[in-house]
Amino acid sequence: MADLEALAAQIRAVLEKEVSANLRGKAADPKAHVWGGRRPAAVYPEALEWLALAAKRGWTAPTWPKEYGGAAWTREEAKVLEGEIARLDLPPPLVGFGLTMIGPTLLQFGSEALKREHLPRITRGEIRWCQGYSEPNAGSDLASLQTTAVRDGDEYVVNGQKIWTSYGDLSDWMFMLVRTDPAAKKKQVGITFLLVDLATRGVEVRPIRLISGASPFCETFFADVRVPVVNVVGEVNAGWTVAKALLGHERSMIASVMGSGGRRDVPGAWDLASNRLAALAREQGAADDPLLRDRIAQLSMDELCFQLTVQRAADGAAAGQRPGPESSMFKLYGTELNQRRQELMLAIRGPQALGWEGAGFSADDLQQARDWLRSRGNSIEGGTSEVQLNVIAKQVLGLPD
């Protein structure tokens, strides 16, 4: 414990002296979030300085081994860093799927060569990654994917199409699932996990517009794209195992963001009076409507219970207990809470929230309409709610196929 306190003090000194004070309070500011890559988006210059400083110390991926750009810290030590960063309300030094998805996956399954080639560049924010799983005909039934990779010498030739690629048009590399054995008896056995440089000839990326307007999603087309065989992660035809491990990471990430609009306080210190929905209702003159009031109370209670359940899972883990079944419902329930929140905010605002553009609508009104539309996708992306219910029924409740 004393070691962690000393570490906290050291980190605090660095953050206070060497990281620009202009970044304090900007933890939630998108312009302060560095995604990195070959064609990086514009961010505050101080954020780039923070990235450089953090990368040098191994702080962008503190639990990764030092030879791959990490600090070789324990989970507890990494939490100390998170805590100190949160204390000053600083943005994380680097964000992206390299850190959260492909990085941990390469550490688990990647060859030494792939780890040395990719992990350091991830930690320095030099390369931005995207995910290539879903296809137009392979959504919930991902295993039926048809993008093929045919061996030719020491390369694979990739043909097909991926869809729902988040930030595909801003990314440099893609980790993708390809079919290497179309004759496999079970469709899962015949899938390979492959890393592809999107700058390779034959790759075309097109953004997808959603019912809520512009989105980060893209379609990615592959026409005779040549990929070195050494870019296979794990074994050929054994990519499904790698993919499942990575899907688990993705679902936890979505769930933790969805629950209660990102609020992270401990419920004991929960400031009930700052209920955002109630404040909006008062502002809109809807606070006296008994039906709206009941819906607000119900949603607020449900959000509280969800936070408490997330905390219960964390407290159990911290006490060394085996993970309980409660975490299997986080993605399902967290996304539904967000949808209900958007529906309720729409209901509270009334017809003012119907605006798409033009005079007479406030920026908040216009944003509300888009947020509500976008929220309809939460129960679909990252594993539909129906799939989540299937998973709970099978894996937690043991109900038969």
Partner 1 sequence: MRLVLTEDQRELRKTASAFAADRSPLSRVRKLRDAGDRLGYSRDVWRQMADLGWTGVCFAEADGGAGLGLAEVVVLAEALGRTLTPEPLLSSVMLAGQALAAAGTDRQRAELLPPLIAGKIVLALAFQERGARFDLHRVSTRAEGAPGGYRLVGTKIQVMDGAGADGFVVVARTSGAAADVEGISLFYVPTGAAGLRVEGQHRLDGRGCALVGLEGVEVPAASLIGELGKGAAVVDSVVDRATVALCGETLGGMSEAFERTLAYLKERVQFGVAIGSFQALKHRAARVFVEIELARSAVMAAARAVDERAPHAAAFVSAAKARCSDAYVLAANEAVQMHGGIGMTDEHDIGFFMKRARVAEMTFGDGAYHRDRFARICGF
Give contact residues for partner 1 (rule: CB under 8 A).
Answer: 266-268, 270, 272-273, 275, 278, 281-282, 287, 293-294, 296-298, 300-302, 304-306, 308-309, 311-312, 315-316, 318-319, 321, 325-326, 329, 332-333, 386, 388-390, 392-394, 396-401
Task: Find the shortest distance in angstroms from Cβ 258 to partner 1.
Answer: 15
Task: Find the shortest distance in angstroms from Cβ 288 to partner 1.
Answer: 10
The rounded distance, in Å, linking the Cα atoms of 398 and 401 is: 9
The rounded distance, in Å, linking the Cα atoms of 199 and 236 is: 23
As a whole number of angstroms, the longest Cα–Cα distance in the chain is 73
Angstrom distances, CA of residue 80 to CA of 85, 138, 315: 9, 41, 17
For residue 82, indicate whether it is catalytic: no
* DSSP 8-state class, residue 200: S
C-alpha closest to that of 365 among 344, 343, 375, 350: 350
Long-range interactions of 147-150: CB distance < 8 A, separation 24+: 147/176, 147/177, 147/178, 147/179, 147/222, 148/178, 148/179, 148/180, 148/182, 149/178, 149/179, 149/180, 149/192, 149/194, 149/227, 150/180
Question: Are 41 and 30 within 8 A, CB to CB?
Answer: no
The rounded distance, in Å, linking the Cα atoms of 266 and 268 is: 5
Question: Are 150 and 178 within 8 A, CB to CB?
Answer: no
Place of tokens 């004991």: 268
Q: Which one is catalytic: 250, 303, 343, 381?
A: 250
Which residue number, 182 or 267, has a Cβ lying nearer to partner 1? 267
Which residue number, 137 or 321, has a Cβ lying nearer to partner 1? 321
3-state secondary structure of 220: strand
Q: Dihedral of CA 325/140/96/60: which sign?
A: positive
The rounded distance, in Å, linking the Cα atoms of 143 and 120 is: 31
The rounded distance, in Å, linking the Cα atoms of 312 and 296 is: 24
Q: Which residues participate in catalysis according to the annotation?
A: 250
